[in-house]
Amino acid sequence: MAKRQATKLTISLLILSVVLPGILPAGPRSGQEAAPSPARPIEIPVRVTDSNGQFVDSLSLDDFVLTENGVVQKPVGFYVVKGQSVQGQAGTPPANPLISRHYYLMFQAIDYDPKLGDVVDILFKKLLRPGDTMTLMTPAKAYSLSHQALSSKPKDVLSKELNQILRKDIQIGSSDYRSLLRDLKRLVKSIGGEESAFDSDMESDATTTSSIGLEVLLERYRDSLRKMEDLRLIDERKILSFAQALKNQPGQKSVFLFYQREFRPEINPTILNTMMSLYQDQHEVLAMLMELFQFYKRETSFNQDRISRAFADASLMFNFIFMNKESQYVFGANMKEQSEDVFSVYSQVARATGGQCETAINPASSFSKAVAESENYYLLYYTPSNPAADKTFRNVRVAVKRAGVTVSHRLGYYAF
């Protein structure tokens, strides 16, 4: 996840929005501040679909069964929202519901995938309409689409220009990561005995290839691994800040994160074990090999419940689209997938917000499905029977009295 800034792009229809460095914005630490007051009706966007994935719009207020922390609550009303307009209501929901639409498309990719062009086409052909807002977050920058551009420029022109930006930013923003990945592959080959780690296009000092010892190669390999880890570091504070920033955005928010599968070149375990046996008397080499063992085994820990609750409290729909790709064969290396931490965190966030979690070769297909899910929903309201502002997280569960349907909604909210 490279943090190097791209050169400024001069494009009239896209305005640079300084939302965040890299992929996520900085800001307040906690996503648990300024939650809705329990004294007011709580709003829960609810999506109900049948077995064919079609929105079920014929429910009555009595069809909803709602609990908070296991205690049954009585809904006071709902709106039926389709696209940009209210199509119906029941009961006595609060007046003037906020149904303005705000979309956030976040791309975290090492290499540009031409299929992302199809995603951009769907964005303009099926999703964005006048009155919507859209923020694009690439590995290099963040951009906001102006209302004027969306209403006055042909959509095919917008799509083409936005796709050019995405392609360029992925190449620029992830260049450091790709460079490290190439170096790691070369170093692993050299450590495995296939070739020199210093090809003609690699930086080298005055040291000749023949005099480069295993200890030096291992040290450079270790340092490159650390640099790669620093580039892809997931900052929990920034994740929570992002949730807080979107919570403060009125209206309906939909986030789409496209994340490309990652692989890290690790020294083949057989080669690593053999080296540990061969270099038992060389303490410097042995210590470095042991350090690599520990590095491979370490796990990045996140408070996934805290992150999921912060996004649920923000009342947004988070969709995680995991872009699958095959690993590349590298002599002497075990191409270890290192996306597990990302997948674990964001798939749980998707579930907690009623969004989609999709793994696919074709991101456009998954995006199209998630877009369809985000279009139609109920805005369900209830006044909690426990009005105490005790700062605890209230778990909400919504069910409907109809067989064969799927219900999705946010996990709950913080009572402040």
CATH number at residue 22: 3.40.50
Return the number of other C-beta atoms located less than 10 Å from residue 234's C-beta: 16
CA-wise closest residue to 328 among 172, 184, 118, 219: 184
* Amino acid of residue 208: T
Q: What is the pLDDT along the chain (416 residues), one digit of tens a residue?
A: 333 333 222 222 232 333 333 333 333 334 444 444 445 899 999 999 999 999 999 999 999 999 999 999 999 999 999 999 999 999 999 999 999 999 999 999 999 999 999 999 999 988 998 889 999 999 999 999 877 777 788 888 999 999 999 999 999 999 999 999 999 999 998 887 765 444 434 443 333 333 348 888 999 999 998 888 888 767 889 999 999 999 999 999 999 999 999 998 998 888 888 888 888 888 888 888 888 878 877 666 789 999 999 999 999 999 999 998 887 778 778 888 888 888 999 999 999 999 999 998 899 999 999 998 899 999 999 999 999 999 999 999 999 999 999 999 999 999 98
- Angle CA 314–351–28, to nearest 5: 30
Q: Is residue 206 part of a domain?
A: no
Q: How far apart are CA 397 and CA 87, in angstroms?
A: 24
Confirm if 240 and 29 have CB atoms less than 8 A apart: yes
Q: Is residue 195 part of a domain?
A: no
Place of tokens 């009595």: 62
Burial class (CB in 10 A: 0-12, 13-18, 19+), 19: buried
**Residues sharing a CB contact under 8 Å with residue 205, sequence separation 6 or more, in sequence order:** none
pLDDT of residue 27: 35
pLDDT of residue 200: 39
Structurally, the chain folds into a number of domains equal to 1
CA-wise closest residue to 343 among 361, 365, 359, 363: 359
- Phi/psi at 144 (nearest 5 deg)? -120, 135
Return the number of other C-beta atoms located less than 10 Å from residue 49's C-beta: 17
Q: Is residue 118 part of a domain?
A: yes
CA-wise closest residue to 374 among 252, 258, 264, 267: 252
Q: Is residue 223 part of a domain?
A: no
Q: How far apart are CA 137 and CA 22, in angstroms?
A: 8
Q: Is residue 44 part of a domain?
A: yes
- Its domain, for residue 409, covers 14-176+231-266+295-414
Q: Is residue 199 part of a domain?
A: no
Distances in Å between the alpha carbon of 38 and those of 88, 244, 359, 387, 404?
A: 25, 18, 37, 5, 32
Q: Is residue 247 part of a domain?
A: yes
Confirm if 395 and 415 have CB atoms less than 8 A apart: no
Q: Is residue 90 part of a domain?
A: yes
Confirm if 275 and 339 have CB atoms less than 8 A apart: no
Q: Which tokens in the block code for residue 360? A: 């696919």
**What is the distance in angstroms between the CA of the first residue and the CA of the last residue of the chain?**
35
Strands, E, within 170-250: which ranges?
Answer: none
Place of tokens 């769907």: 122
CA-wise closest residue to 265 among 296, 219, 311, 301: 296
Strands, E, within 296-375: which ranges?
Answer: 316-323, 333-337, 357-360
Burial class (CB in 10 A: 0-12, 13-18, 19+), 143: buried
Q: How far apart are CA 276 and CA 285, in angstroms?
A: 8
Burial class (CB in 10 A: 0-12, 13-18, 19+), 32: buried
